[in-house]
Amino acid sequence: MSAAGQPKRSVRWRRVRVLKSVQTKVCVDGSLMKEYVLDEPLTGEFLKFLEQFGTVRFLDQLRKPYFSFEKELFISIKGFVGDSNVEVRYKKEFQDLVSDYFHLLLYYYRDGEPGIVKLKGVEESIREKMKVRLGPSQGNRT
């Protein structure tokens, strides 16, 4: 609580939204690439959140630090810290199952630790569907 009796606001983003999809392409490998414009720029704090769900790589020697995020079988995200444009690639085999995953990352980020727990539960549900689709011989790949 603040001195005025008001609840303290989190330093995290408010619920960040995708303003528009700028470009959609099918890549040579069959993955789907979408470029989104967000209503807030990407922050280093959000990238720390992403580390809970996959591999984040930084190239901070550039004028604007570049990052990439990879969640195997789900999505990859590329962009610049401080920029509101982001490129998201959805893996070919499971595009229908992971199509909302980027939006879920944005949504649950604001919730901190409880959001991480909730999103891990969503991930597990998606992985179960992947196992069913792959069948018993490939199900342990997920």
Q: What is the pLDDT of residue 138?
A: 59
pTM: 0.82
Q: What is the pLDDT of residue 11?
A: 46
Q: What is the pLDDT of residue 12?
A: 47
pLDDT digits 0-9 by tens, 63-102: 889 999 999 999 999 999 999 999 999 988 899 999 999 9
Among residues 32, 142, 24, 21, the alpha carbon closest in space to that of 90 is found at 32
Q: What is the mean pLDDT of the chain?
A: 86
Helices and strands of the chain, counted as H and E runs? 4, 6
